[in-house]
A and B are shown apart, each in its own frame.
Chain A
Amino acid sequence: MSATLAQTGLPSRKLEAWKYTDLRPLAALAPAAAPEIADIAALAADLPSFPGPRLVFVNGRRAASLSVPAPAGVITDLATGGDFAPFAPAPLAALNARLAQDGAAIHVPEGLDAGTLALVHLTIAEDAAPVFVHPRHRIALAAGATLTLVEYAGGRGVYWQNPVIEIMLAPGATLRHVRIQAEDRESFHTATIFVDLLAGARYDAFTLGLGARLARSECHARLGGAGAIAHLAAVQLLRGAQHGDITTVVAHDAPGCASRQTVKSVVDGRAHAVFQGRIEVARAAQKTDGYQMSQALLLSPDAEIDCKPELEIFADDVKCSHGATIGALDPEQLFYLRARGIPEAAARAMLVRAFLIDAIEAVSEAGARALLERAIDDWWEGAR
């Protein structure tokens, strides 16, 4: 059975980009057909409490009854198969292209500020496991358009969620993309995101990863027009034997663009975090401003992080920097809190929150931030 999946193109650790993330536990799974959910309405309780328009997919199929219509002017449609030409090699995206199921096609017309739209994935694999889901979404913002997209992935049981999202941002368009990966702890989640930015476009992404047995969020952003800006921020909270991988690649192909890759990892138990960040600056991309920072907090002696920064620069007038810190909780800070009567577990939680606060406060949309806060609270509750 495992041979079947391996033949379809799961990358092995021999590939440089997959050196730190081993997909063999996934290769060992034999997929079952995703069950039809008879009582879709009952899943409403599984939806994140988030007001406003939302597109809901259950086991890879659009669940119209759980969805709330998109803001006026925004076109949402089903995207299926078709002409897929990623600008960067990504084996799981190629696999998705072969097996792709339903997905959303979202188009925001020129100049429209479309507000906030949620994109929710529930995978229910309790009765027939494992379920494999390969959604593919396309998001296009026309010139000067603005959208906040809040993406949420959750579920129950053993499954593999392998979404691909293609994003096209026309000149001056702005997409704020908040992603919350709160999958079942038995599941696998691998997301590949391609973002194409034209002149003056802006992509602000924040990814929170706290679920799944094994997760990878891989984002390729191409700054193809002058003055484009990409900020790829991520927080991952891992414990037990979880594996979480944040991989970001920013290609500066045009002059005067700015990019930020900022990742915070909190790792407990025997969990393993990975951050791979890459900045590529083409010869034409003069006046590039690129920055990358990875900060990790290891909460146990067996927690582990692999951090790999890569800079590939062909232009001569650029500003590019990267940094990485790895630390533990400060025993003096912990003692100070405990000396004021705060129990040790609560004191540790406070200090971890303090470590994350600037990353979370950077998410300006109130509803999305509340959702992030709740997801993190739930994570703490689960830790006890």
Chain B
Amino acid sequence: MLEIRGLAASIDGKPILKGIDLVVPTGEVHAIMGPNGSGKSTLSYILAGREGYDVTGGEVRLDGVDLLTLAPEERAVAGLFLAFQYPVELPGVGNANFLRTALNATRRARGESELDAVQFLKLARAALRDLAMADDMLKRNVNVGFSGGEKKRNEVLQMAILKPKFAILDETDSGLDIDALKIVAGGVNTLRGPGFSALVITHYQRLLDHIVPDRVHVLAGGRILRSGGPELARALEESGYAALGLEAVGEDVAAIGAS
């Protein structure tokens, strides 16, 4: 279970998150939607532990563990996974070596034995097949020369191999055609079950047709202004944020939301 209580954060003194309260029970998938600049990516980066943000209040717990005091790698081995909106290119780092190093770091932390190259390849090839990815993906340098869709699929491949307890998908649907979208959604749905939960950040309803969320939250101006079932996402798609009184971004939205 992920519990976010009163999370407030700023960048260079400018408040971005202004008190987020959000609970994702184990086994559930929640979606966060919201206009540009509402703080969606900031939230995902803060959960993953990226530098450059000042957390000014609140707490985040994953199955009771205080995440905010942990280094990014400690959060990862505790079971948190961020699928990046903009996956980073690593020239000179082979994808197979990267994935195996990450998997073995995770396994070590769980007290499991490390996988050798042969065991890893077997596991990786199976994961590639499930995601309709070519085997040569493993030989290439991480994300280097990948198309937008390949980068996103590579994120889902990493998730499939690392098997996190909690995944954050930050606009994983952007840049995907409909076939790739289905594959990516399939990758997430495969992991769904009692030991997995996720936060899906997206602009669009169409991803949520394939990954049907248990709850939908609307984030604007650094606060969660609405929460509801999957029907909330459809309402947003049809009438836009304006119809919900969520037209503008920033201070104004917060004011509307508070009223």
Contact = CB atoms under 8 A, between A and B. Distances in A.
Interface of A: 331-333, 335-344, 346-347, 350-351, 353-358
Given A342-B101, A342-B102, A350-B101, A335 B50 contact: yes
24 contacts: A331-B51, A333-B88, A333-B90, A335-B51, A336-B87, A337-B98, A338-B49, A338-B73, A338-B76, A339-B49, A339-B72, A339-B73, A340-B73, A340-B105, A340-B162, A341-B77, A341-B106, A342-B73, A342-B101, A346-B101, A350-B93, A350-B98, A351-B90, A354-B91
A347 B101 CA distance: 10
Contacts of A340: 73, 76, 98, 102, 105, 158, 162
Interface string B63-101: 000000001110111000010100110111100011001
Contacts of B49: 338-339
Nearest to A355: B92
Given A339-B76, A341-B73, A351-B93, A346 B51 contact: no
Contacts of B50: 335, 339
A335 B87 CA distance: 11
Nearest to A347: B73
B105 A343 contact: yes
A342, A356, A358: most-surrounded residue (chain B CB, <10 A): A342
A8 to B, nearest CB: 45
A15 B224 CA distance: 69
B88 A338 contact: no
A354 B90 CA distance: 8
A262 to B, nearest CB: 15
Contacts of B106: 341
Contacts of B87: 336
A336 B88 contact: yes
Contacts of B90: 333, 336-337, 351, 354
Contact of B73 (A343, A351, A354): A343
Interface string B170-200: 0000000000000000000000000000000
A354 B105 CA distance: 19
B48 interface: yes
A131 B93 CA distance: 42
Nearest to B78: A341
A359 B92 CA distance: 11
Contacts of A346: 101, 105
Contact of A341 (B88, B92, B109): B109
Contacts of B76: 338-341
What are the 5 closest A-B residue pairs judged by CB atoms, nearest first? A354-B92, A341-B76, A340-B102, A336-B88, A338-B72
A338 B71 contact: yes
A338 B74 CA distance: 8
Given A340-B76, A341-B105, 8 more contacts: A336-B87, A339-B48, A339-B72, A341-B73, A341-B76, A342-B73, A351-B93, A358-B92
A338 B84 CA distance: 13
A347 B97 CA distance: 12
A102 to B, nearest CB: 41
